[in-house]
Structure 1
Amino acid sequence: MPMPRSVTRVRRNGVEFTSNVDRVKYTIQELARAALKDVAKLIRRRILDKARKMPGMRKGKRIPNAFQYWVRKRESDLQIGVKHDTWYGVDQELGTNGQPARHIIRDTVYENIDQIRIIQGKYLSSIESENRARGLIDEEEEIGNEDN
């Protein structure tokens, strides 16, 4: 959805009231979404670094596509998870009767809370400047599994 162009202007008794509420609401939503996307890229990169060092990882075995993130526009949230039927699955993360839990996703998020706050702060502080905010917003939906 592109930036709303509508601006409400009301003139009465020589006073003009201009409302940019729709535009500001859109900008805030898109900045929050862009911040989530950057957080997801950071966390996914760190998860992959950890997963490659885990015991049982054979050389040449590809796991990058096992971990994905979803920045959901309607729900305004971020999900980081594991694709179905991949090497690192729910059994590895949460454990089973015969296998201990590894908590690689959860622990990676906890270990990077400060970096997450820095990323979120960078985006949300740009609300003050519309030009700066527009430069940070990428208006494409994304399911991330790239190696950037």
Structure 2
Amino acid sequence: MEFVSKVDRTKYLLRELERAALRDTAKLIRRRILDKARKLRGMRRGKRIPHAFQYWLRRREGDLQIGVKHDTWYGAHQELGTKNQPKRSIIRDTTYENIDQIRIIQGQYLKHIEDENKALGLINEDEEVGDEDV
């Protein structure tokens, strides 16, 4: 009898499936953010917007970050607000508005947890939305 372990291969495949799902999620969210941002007053049509919003898919940490490129017109002051600038929350709101679509994208890639994904959607119908002011 010979024992052949496929644990490492399975870990690799799951990690890569997760990365692919995060990449597609980021593309969706960025596209929806750009649609909203183009409607903001003071934006020049198409010149600055596409480069302001970016996503970072970090390999070592295994996570996804969506944010604003440093020194762009739409920056932290626009997203979080200041005493002279109203809070717009485009990134945060767009992400929360698309939770169901994010679940669908993740489920397409991560079919191994599709049932768990559906269960979490049923159990957590009233998901909390944190509103931390930084």
Supply the distance in 2 between the matched residues of 1:29 and 1:91 (Cα, whole angstroms).
35
Supply the distance in 2 between the matched residues of 1:110 and 1:59 (Cα, whole angstroms).
26
Give the 3 Å change call, closer, same or farther, for CA 24–68 of structure 1 in structure 2: same
Q: Whose radius of gyration is greater, 1 or 2?
A: 1
Unaligned runs of 5+ in 2: 114-134
The aligned residue for residue 103 of structure 1 is 89
The aligned residue for residue 118 of structure 2 is none
1:60 deviates by 5.4
Which amino acid in structure 2 is aligned with residue 27 of structure 1?
Answer: L
CA displacement, residues 98-148 of structure 1 (integer Å, 9 cap, x when unaligned): 111000000000000000000000000168xxxxxxxxxxxxxxxxxxxxx
The aligned residue for residue 15 of structure 2 is 29
Counterpart selection for 1:44 from 30, 37, 48? 30
Instruction: Tell me if the contact between 2:43 and 2:49 (Cα under 8 Å) persists in the aligned partners.
Output: no
Counterpart selection for 1:54 from 32, 40, 50? 40
Structure 1 segments (4+ residues) deviating >3 Å: 58-61
Which amino acid in structure 1 is aligned with residue 92 of structure 2?
Answer: R
Residue pairs, 1:78-117, within 5 angstroms:
78-117=64-103
Secondary structure at the residue paired with 2:2? strand
The aligned residue for residue 107 of structure 2 is 121
Compute the TM-score of the two structures, normalised by the length of structure 1: 0.73
> Pairwise CA RMSD of aligned residues?
1.4
Compute the TM-score of the two structures, normalised by the length of structure 2: 0.80
1:55 deviates by 1.7
Give the 3 Å change call, closer, same or farther, for CA 22–106 of structure 1 in structure 2: same
Which amino acid in structure 2 is aligned with residue 70 of structure 1?
Answer: W
Q: How many residues align?
A: 113
Give the 3 Å change call, closer, same or farther, for CA 101–31 of structure 1 in structure 2: same
Supply the distance in 1 between the matched residues of 2:37 and 2:57 (Cα, whole angstroms).
22
Between 1 and 2, higher relative CO (CA 8 Å, sep ≥ 6) is seen in: 1
